[in-house]
Structure 1
Amino acid sequence: VPMARAGPGTLLYRRNIRLDSFLKRNTERALYERIRGYEPCVVKSDSINKVYMHVVMSDERVYLTEFSPRTLTSVFGFSSVRAIELINDLPDFLSGKDREQCQHIKIIYVPEKPVTKGHHDDQLFPALSPSHSFSPLTAEGKRLYYTIKTIKNWKLFMNLLHELEVGISDFSLKTVVPTRSASCPNEETLGLLAPQPPARPHSSASMYPLTANQCTKRTLSPKVPRRISLLFSRLLKQNKGANIAELHLYALSPISTLYIHLQSTWTSFIIKSTLMLDLVYRRKYCTSPQGISWEQTAHLFSQLQGEMLQEGISVESLYLLLQELCTAAHRNVTLRRLFWRSNELCRFLVQILEDFLPGDRSVLYTTDHLLMSILVVQTLAVMFRETEVEPARLSLLSANNGALVTRMLLALIRDPGGVVFHCKQFLFFSQTDVCLAEYLDAACSLLFELLLQGQQFSFSDSILSVGWILQVLQPHPHLLSFIGYQTQQVVLVLSSPPLYILSPVQSVLLFQRCRLLLVSLQYSKHLAGHLKTNFKDDFKYSVNVISVETKLPPHYPISPMIRQLVEQILTLMLQ
């Protein structure tokens, strides 16, 4: 697994042959394929005192192995991480250039406990689906539910329930009403064996919050709130005793990307964990076939690619094949790697986007063209996930001074026109406007993935860096209106009434929009000036941290990150 580094116009790979061979021999192929990088550094923790070791990252866990690898030890999963910080200091145990150039990274996490008989620590309230939650009608119900999501002592919880005579049946449940995508209206037909023809969109794009009226409810008994308050207090006292551990990594290379890779991997994991809370998302994308080998996946991908690239293929057939590719890519990271190794397919999708959405806004977008464009952009976005260290991807995107990425960026940005949705006004818009709004959602997600990749190269002025991406986009005639639309959606969501609670999918979209907004303020004077001129008052009077907390349940893994982003945006916007 290479560690990538952007130089002036080139991409360099640093592969440790000995470590790579060790990992290949001592890990299962599924794990080896999901390793996202490794780097040597000085490690310090409660059990390790300043030892030079290799840090190995998969998409879910961090491992340590000796500098001359003999054993691979799991340290923590990204689900237990609370913070990853870059510390500005000069370690006293180092000297000379190592001391001056060292990057000190501190990772705060909750140590994992071994599985014992009974319930695993992560098995919180096993009788309930993650798509359900307690009633939002009472503050006590909310507080208890959110506490249960973080409690680590299941036996204590059950004893207290029995002691207080609070039965699970006393709690009210809400069932989230499934939302359907305009591009794929029937989630039951998204399987790889029997795809169905596309249908016209009939509901809103998945960017508007749910209300209490969209949920089925049962009321709490009058005696429950007081008992819940007592139970909440005792559970909270127990939960405060959770142990926190620190892992300190000292990267000695002046061009180390370890911190950026850790942040990127953690972000990807948080996004995936949040999406997994959505029942419809899980039903569509998380039922991967069991026992399929890498060779079988490669064979099926080759067949699918051949069918998509054949001459004379109809638009309907292409849509169904693309739908099949997108669904399979969600479920299988190996297929995403094969996508970048094929070269042809990525160029083909960019060409489709250029053909179906011409840059001239005088050409009216049709619903059919928007549906195809939505699916193309969604497919490209998912291909970026968990593949940032794939050598073929870096080679393809950096070739010819980033020509393919330039085409992708210029084709992606489109004028939203007068489409500015509000949750109460949505039903007055046409199907074309609904599709355009969903396209703008998908475009934001793909631009987020490109910017996330660009952070790996921010130490230089090379291609693919964040600064380079914004420089490519700056002359685009619709850039200001596109960024303005994304910003306006952030304001509308965070200033909506308190009863509107975001779903997991909506929360991820809000996170992506906030990251896009923050990057615009930090890296582009042109965009920062435009945003402050047009949206400063909106953020000053309509957006605050409290509005974030009312829209995002604390048990969403992504909620703390969104809160932090909003705080940073407010600081920059109100300067």
Structure 2
Amino acid sequence: MARTGSGSLPAHRNIKLDSFLQRNMERTVYERVRAYEPCVVISETINKVYMHVVLSDERVYLTEYPPRTLTAACSLRRVRDIELVNDLPDFLRGKDRELCQHIRITYVTDKPAGRGRDWLRRDKRVGFLPAAQPPRRTSHCQTITSTLEGYPAQRNHSETRTEEVHTLAPARSASCPNPETLGLLTVPQPPTHPPSTPPPLYSPISSPTSPRSPLAQRLNIPEPGQVQRRIGSVLSRLLRRDVVNSREEREAELHLYAVSHTSRLYLHLQSSWNSFIIRSTMLLDPLYRGRCSVVSESSPGMRLPAISWERTAHLFGQLSSELLQEGISLESLYLLLQELRTAAHRNIALRRLFWRSSEVCVFLVQTLEESLHGCQSLSGVYTADQLLLSSLIVQTLAIMFRETEVEPARLNLLSAKRGALASRMLLALLCDPELQTRTRGSQVDCELQALLAEYLDAACSLLFELLLLGHEASRCSAADNFLCVGWILHVLQPHPHLFSFIGYQAQQVVLVLSDQQESSLSPIQSVVLFQRCRLLLACLQHNNQLAQHLQSHFREEFRYFVKLSCADKKLPPHYLISQPTLRLVEQILTLNLHR
């Protein structure tokens, strides 16, 4: 679902649904809605109901068809897997049965929370049909069949009156968190005990009128009844905590049957989930969290108000003109790029504007070509200035890809002239991972080696974003969308450092997951590992030459040094990216060892 203008209105939108979302969502959350599509929904409380599925960058929402209530079906923080199921649903018929996409979302059930914590909290049964009312369910099944054929069924008056009682009020909760923090600065917190003390399970033994001795009063010794109440309070908390833990461990499934033959809901779900787990994991790092936060200098800890689209466009225009000016010094260029990268971390509107202004993207690619390859080809060595500037450019480009897949200007820019700019970006990205310096074993050499390693991490992150773009294109039916994973790897094929670059990324995976390093991975290291595994898996699945290279050069390393048990120990369980990374490692081992 693309957005136009200020980014607040989706192209080809459902006007009635869009107006409903605008009234019932916080403005900043509404502006980050990525997609909505009609689907047949099956869950623990819904059975084959035709509904709208609304996807934001943090949650999956459900609303009736037509919309009356808005319910958060699941949070992306709780999602464990999103997959396509190859089946033919028996409740559909004709071409809809053959062409529908069955998406299964596996998630952990939400733990109980206070009313003030949920900004769209309402009764879970609101808008849904109780399981004990088969006539109502039959009516909705008829609605599904009729809607799929293009003729929505008419509801009877009694059903309409019943549902109107549960319409979501447009007023928002006063306990709603700061809209700027939604989906940006949410850091997992340890579970807390209920704020209120539960009633005692035991009655006091002693009479409430029995006096306390002076010694007991002086030493603050509790009465026997108070001891019993404390025991009851502890037991109650323990029982309640056991219930919470059991609920946290229970998995549930949400089944979405996208009935549109050109549905892109699965792609949007995968992309949103990837972005969410990466962002949530990286926000566990204090330095990254500080870079993403917007803090007032005059009032530390106070968040600045959200910047309007118009103001963002004006500031981006000023920054762009300064970057593109003639004769800019290297120092000024570096400082301006730092400012651009930091602003992009904090403002998704700026990332959308970046793709709508092709001059800045072309300038960054050209600067990367000149910085990393132009000077290096003349002198034969890398310099610290080259590596610092190149790393900053690549990091900035990678940030611009994040959460902008619904921006049509991005695809238009990268696919123009048969992918000319995308090809330049890919070829400029790779470099020789073997450091060539004038001196050996010196302090300067060690510093350059660290800078080169930082650049190679950034290059892997940007290539990961490009591969995500390729995966989206691979599932599109449009004939002119050629930016698929196979095309990306084919463009990289003639690069002289391709095999050494991919080999370096594979060697880093082996090194990180070997028994030689026993410490747990940091949030940033875990994200880079996830991105490297996605890169290696793409090479194994989509390019025969790269797959043969990895199997012939790294089969033994993966066989003897990479163990799933070791990877499980190094990836902390509270990182949202840990389980997806383990699944990628398992796939790589299967392809590399048993192919």
Shorter-chain TM-score range: 0.7 to 0.9
Which residue does the alignment assign to 1:258? Answer: 265
Q: Secondary structure at the match of 1:415?
A: coil
Cα RMSD of the aligned pairs, angstroms, is 3.1
CA–CA separation in structure 1 for the residues paired with 2:260 and 2:352? 28
Amino acid in the other structure paired with 1:408 = M
Pairing 1:417–2:423 present: no
Mapping of residues 68-107 of structure 1, within 5 Å: 68-107=66-105
Which residue does the alignment assign to 2:124? Answer: none
Distance 1:367 1:418, change over 3 A: closer
Which residue does the alignment assign to 1:440? Answer: 456
Mapping of residues 226-375 of structure 1, within 5 Å: 239-242=245-248, 243-287=250-294, 289-358=304-373, 363-375=380-392
Larger radius of gyration: 2
CA–CA separation in structure 2 for the residues paired with 1:248 and 1:319? 48
Higher relative contact order (CA 8 A, sep 6+): 1
CA–CA separation in structure 1 for the residues paired with 2:387 and 2:522? 24
CA–CA separation in structure 1 for the residues paired with 2:442 and 2:350? 37
Amino acid in the other structure paired with 2:590 = T
Out of 511, 527, 531, the residue aligned to residue 492 of structure 1 is 511
Shift of 1:22: 4.4
Report if aligned partners of 1:152, 1:239 keep a CA contact under 8 Å in 2: no
Report if aligned partners of 1:548, 1:563 keep a CA contact under 8 Å in 2: yes
CA–CA separation in structure 2 for the residues paired with 1:416 and 1:428? 17
Amino acid in the other structure paired with 2:312 = T
Distance 1:293 1:120, change over 3 A: closer
CA–CA separation in structure 1 for the residues paired with 2:365 and 2:549? 29
Number of aligned residue pairs: 464
Q: Secondary structure at the match of 1:365?
A: coil
Which residue does the alignment assign to 1:2? Answer: 2
Shift of 1:244: 3.4
Distance 1:256 1:396, change over 3 A: same
Report if aligned partners of 2:344, 2:351 keep a CA contact under 8 Å in 1: yes
CA–CA separation in structure 1 for the residues paired with 2:38 and 2:117? 37
Mapping of residues 152-163 of structure 1, within 5 Å: 154-155=193-194
Pairing 1:35–2:33 present: yes
CA–CA separation in structure 1 for the residues paired with 2:406 and 2:2? 6
Report if aligned partners of 1:498, 1:547 keep a CA contact under 8 Å in 2: no
Shift of 1:246: 2.1
Mapping of residues 162-201 of structure 1, within 5 Å: none
Shift of 1:254: 3.6
Report if aligned partners of 1:119, 1:154 keep a CA contact under 8 Å in 2: no
Q: TM-score, normalised by structure 2?
A: 0.72
Q: Secondary structure at the match of 1:50?
A: strand
Which residue does the alignment assign to 2:492? Answer: 473
Report if aligned partners of 1:3, 1:38 keep a CA contact under 8 Å in 2: no
Gaps of 5+ in 1: 5-12, 122-148, 160-230, 420-424
Q: TM-score, normalised by structure 1?
A: 0.75
CA–CA separation in structure 2 for the residues paired with 1:502 and 1:233? 34
Q: Deviations over 1:94-144 (max 9, x none)?
A: 1121111121111122343564279999xxxxxxxxxxxxxxxxxxxxxxx
Report if aligned partners of 2:435, 2:452 keep a CA contact under 8 Å in 1: no
Which residue does the alignment assign to 1:455? Answer: 471
Report if aligned partners of 1:43, 1:248 keep a CA contact under 8 Å in 2: yes
Shift of 1:535: 0.1
Pairing 1:505–2:524 present: yes
Shift of 1:512: 0.5
Shift of 1:298: 1.7
Q: Deviations over 1:189-243 (max 9, x none)?
A: xxxxxxxxxxxxxxxxxxxxxxxxxxxxxxxxxxxxxxxxxx9999778623444
Which residue does the alignment assign to 2:416? Answer: 399
Distance 1:429 1:507, change over 3 A: farther
CA–CA separation in structure 2 for the residues paired with 1:117 and 1:26? 18
Report if aligned partners of 1:3, 1:37 keep a CA contact under 8 Å in 2: no
Shift of 1:88: 1.8
Amino acid in the other structure paired with 1:258 = L
521-530 or 44-53: which moved more? 44-53
Distance 1:89 1:33, change over 3 A: same
Shift of 1:24: 4.3
Distance 1:150 1:549, change over 3 A: farther
Report if aligned partners of 2:3, 2:407 keep a CA contact under 8 Å in 1: no
Shift of 1:539: 0.3
Amino acid in the other structure paired with 2:269 = L
Report if aligned partners of 1:374, 1:439 keep a CA contact under 8 Å in 2: yes
Pairing 1:559–2:575 present: no
Q: Secondary structure at the match of 2:362?
A: helix
Report if aligned partners of 1:329, 1:335 keep a CA contact under 8 Å in 2: yes
Shift of 1:23: 3.7
Which residue does the alignment assign to 1:194? Answer: none
Gaps of 5+ in 2: 5-10, 120-187, 199-236, 296-303
Amino acid in the other structure paired with 2:245 = N
